[in-house]
Structure 1
Amino acid sequence: MSRLLAAFLTCVAATVLAAGAAFGIVTALEATPEQQNVPLVTFPDPPAQGPSTASGSGAG
């Protein structure tokens, strides 16, 4: 009987420890500020182009 009780208490302790760790991780992740979404590489805007006459006669 004492082995069964020890096994049951071990399972209960492991469950409580796992649940506490999960809640702790979630709390720690929510406490950190969200990172800004800043791109590492930016490309300049292409210059504005007028109407092109070569666009109608292409590969065909």
Structure 2
Amino acid sequence: MHRTLAAALTALAAAALAVGAALGIVAALETTPEQPNVPLVTFGRPGA
């Protein structure tokens, strides 16, 4: 019974850690500013 309780607590702690890490990653991605979509190289239209 003691090992079962320890295994259950370990699994619960691992699940809580995974959820916390996922929420932290999402929060970090939402705070980073969106990069502008500006082309680095532009080509003139041929024949224009």
Both structures adopt the same fold (TM-score exceeding 0.5): yes
Q: Which runs of 5+ in 1 are unaligned?
A: 49-60
Corresponding residue of 2:39? 39
Corresponding residue of 1:3? 3
TM-score normalized with structure 2 length: 0.90
Identity across the alignment (%)? 69
The structure that is helix-richer by fraction is: 2
| Cα displacement string for residues 3-51 of structure 1 (whole angstroms, at most 9, x for unaligned residues) | 0000000000000000000000000000000000010110124454xxx
TM-score normalized with structure 1 length: 0.73
Q: Which runs of 5+ in 2 are unaligned?
A: none
* Letter of the structure 1 residue corresponding to residue 39 of structure 2: P
What RMSD, in angstroms, separates the aligned Cα atoms of the two structures?
Answer: 1.1
> Looking at CA atoms only, which structure, 1 or 2, has the larger radius of gyration?
1
